[in-house]
Chain A
Amino acid sequence: MEIISVKSLTKRFGNFTAVDNISFGLKPLTINGFLGPNGAGKTTTIKMICGLLRPDEGSIFIENIDVIENPEKAREKMGYMSQNFSLYPDLTARENILFFADLYKIKKSERDNRYAELTDELNLHEYQNTLTSDLPLGIRQRVALASAVIHHPVLLFLDEPTSGVDPISRMKFFDFIRKYINSHKATAIVSTHFLTEAAHCNEIFLFNRGKIILSGQPAEIIQNFRYNIFETKTSLLTGEIKNILNNSEGIIEFYIFGKRVRIITEEDIDIQQISVRTGIDISNISVVAPSFEDVFISLTND
């Protein structure tokens, strides 16, 4: 049984198609990662599911509710954290969180319990009475998260909740989400630029130019990856190495970071062949496991 099902969803802004005929379904109690580069259509898709944007075509159902026709019906179930953590800058962390609690008419005693619990879990104690405009980004993220879940929604829409946040906080963030999902029988959509965050998700959806170019469980996706990945150290100049690799057959894509080059090749090319084809000494080449970056790059290469 799918909790959210989306069919042939399309959104255009003028002539530009931001979301191009995408379909997918989400299973309950999962974290679903929307991955992809800037402008891929992640935010637009999330906003349509929440009912903030009206699609041009397609259908969206949350359980049995047609979200396009009745956007209000599913609202009580939703918790939304918008890109760049929208909070009221002139209110303190506490005031921000309680404001949202009050909008949901949560009883005062219950509200205060939940508030205490959230400040505990998210380590917000010392920031409670600071204006959110004075808080560092990482703390604002937690305040925004608390504001988004104070009414205990069962559908979480978190739009780039981890951008600009340090790696440890990002880890803790996903720990919190996982715990929340288990204890509230919830389902989450999390969008991100960080392909490495795919590992925290049950399902990932790889967005590019308004389309979902790949979806599935992270482990499955890596397993199904049909290409080989090599890494090599080089003392050659960038221009020279580019020249060599561009003229070697069987190379899908390569990218250079610092002194290292990562090379994606067809399945049938092994380390010896790559050495022969590029003239790089074999002792300088190593075989590495594919990452989501490799998957993404191999897919978007044209």
Chain B
Amino acid sequence: MIRRILPFIKKEFTEILRDRLSITSLLLLPSILLFLYGYAISLDIKEIKISICDKERSEFSREFTDGLISSGYFRITARRESPNEIESDLRTSKSQVGIIFYPSVYKNFLRNNEPSVQILVDGSNAQSSQYTLNYLVGAIERFTQNAIKKELIRINTIQTPTEPLLTERILFNPLLKSPLYLIPGLIAFVIMITGAISTTISIVKEKENRTFEQVILCPVSPFTLIIGKIIPYFVISLVSSAIMILLSILFFDLPTKGSLLFLSYAVIIFLLCASGFGMLISTISSSQQVAFTIAAFSTLLPTIILSGFVFPINNMPEIIQLITYIVPAKYFIAILRGILLKGSSLSELYPETLSLTIFAVLIVSASIIRIKKKGII
């Protein structure tokens, strides 16, 4: 078997390496995307303009705004007298965030009354507003907890039960290095391009050129043929994923907490899903255009749109949220975010890992059955 596959792998690599443009783009595109995306978004976050309306004018409100500015992500562009002005600032894009401190917010806060700080966020850029909001929520959380601590020390009570004012917190990636948040999605994207699309295209190209007919008449089984097709792209996907992770460690301070073994498992299983898709699609398409279209719609688009890569799944309509359950990239991205950003272990990501593995098994078996039944040409 191995001896039969080797000539295919050798041939495939010769072809791939000879096509300078595609090999360069397969290996470099992901990293370029990473940098473009990474810098564009962190720039976004650094430049966030705030309009403030401070009716409280206490130490509390001053400390809070100072804290925000010192984080380096925010800049106060306007101080306003009335809440209406804040709204018009947002509408005219003078600022992306408005913060309104109502009078006696600090007293209310200590009494655990109605909150009286209002935060307005320009939601027109879903991506960056999500990050901004998350960051602000976290900042408020940290700030209030500090304030409570201080207050407790001041009045010398130790055991007053304190309910958190806000339930959302950014625990991981607290500095909002958003490129880090995107790395798993980019890896998924790259694996789909190389693992599914390139594999499909290269198989269908052989159908079109009729070289498959020639090869099928040699004493090789269709599976040898297909495996010989898949392995090179498998290797390339692994290499470009590794490049992305290395670059992220070097340039974006990606933490290296997670288990390398678990990471490799997740990548390989997801690659199997991608290759399975690739095989299935190549059995049903007769031309490169058809194959590309089917592959783009069934693998690439869901990986970008329905996986939580670009758009947060929580913000999607319920019916779409249901659909995301059949997008393997969703599980893969969740797993990778867990491993890369939080250092989560298998036991914490058990459900996602299981779902991804089941997907891989289903897709690969489906394509094997399909090839057994129908052959490849």
Contact = CB atoms under 8 A, between A and B. Distances in A.
Contact of A50 (B15, B209, B217): B217
Contacts of A88: 11, 15, 209, 211
A90 B7 contact: no
B14 interface: yes
Contacts of B213: 47, 52, 80, 82, 86
B63 to A, nearest CB: 66
Interface in B208-267: 209-211, 213-220
Contact of B7 (A75, A89, A99): A99
Interface string B173-215: 0000000000000000000000000000000000001110111
B19 interface: yes
A52 B213 CA distance: 7
Contacts of A261: none
B4 A80 contact: no
A296 interface: no
Interface in B1-50: 3-4, 6-7, 10-11, 14-15, 18-19
Nearest to B215: A103
Nearest to B11: A99
A102 B219 CA distance: 11
Contacts of A84: 210
A76 interface: yes
B377 interface: yes
Given A95-B11, A99-B7, A75 B218 contact: yes
Given A105-B3, A105-B4, A89 B209 contact: yes
A82 B208 CA distance: 12
Given A99-B11, A103-B4, A103-B220, A87 B215 contact: no
Chain A CB count within 10 A is highest, among B19, B213, B220, for: B213
Contacts of B4: 103, 105
A78 interface: yes
A82 B210 CA distance: 8
Nearest to A78: B217
B218 A86 contact: no
A91 interface: yes
A125 B174 CA distance: 66
A253 to B, nearest CB: 36
A72 interface: yes
Nearest to B15: A90
Size category, B interface: 20 to 34
Most buried by A among B11, B18, B214, B377: B214
A227 interface: no
A32 interface: no
A147 interface: yes
A83 B220 CA distance: 21
Nearest to A99: B11
A250 B15 CA distance: 62
Contacts of A87: 209, 211
A24 interface: no
A90 B211 contact: no
A93 B219 CA distance: 22
Contacts of A194: none
Contacts of A148: 214
Contacts of B3: 105
A91 B7 contact: no
B317 to A, nearest CB: 43
A76 B219 CA distance: 6
A115 interface: no
Contacts of B218: 75, 100, 103-104, 151
A91 B217 contact: no
A51 B211 CA distance: 15
Contacts of B15: 88, 90-91
A72 B219 contact: yes
Contacts of B210: 82-84, 86
Contact of A95 (B14, B216, B377): B14
A90 B6 CA distance: 18
Interface string B111-138: 0000000000000000000000000000
Contact of B219 (A50, A86, A104): A104
A50 B15 CA distance: 28
Contacts of B217: 50-52, 75, 78, 80
B9 to A, nearest CB: 11
Contacts of A72: 219
Interface string A105-121: 10000000000000000
9 contacts: A78-B217, A82-B214, A88-B15, A90-B18, A95-B14, A103-B215, A104-B218, A105-B4, A148-B214
Interface of A: 47, 50-52, 72, 75-76, 78, 80, 82-84, 86-91, 95, 99-100, 102-105, 131, 147-148, 151
Q: Which 9 pairs of residues, A with B, have the shortest CB-CB distance?
A: A102-B7, A86-B210, A103-B218, A90-B15, A86-B211, A80-B217, A90-B18, A82-B210, A99-B11
Given A82-B213, A102-B10, 20 more contacts: A50-B217, A75-B219, A80-B214, A80-B217, A83-B210, A86-B210, A86-B214, A87-B209, A87-B211, A88-B209, A89-B209, A90-B19, A91-B11, A99-B11, A100-B218, A103-B218, A104-B219, A105-B4, A131-B18, A151-B218
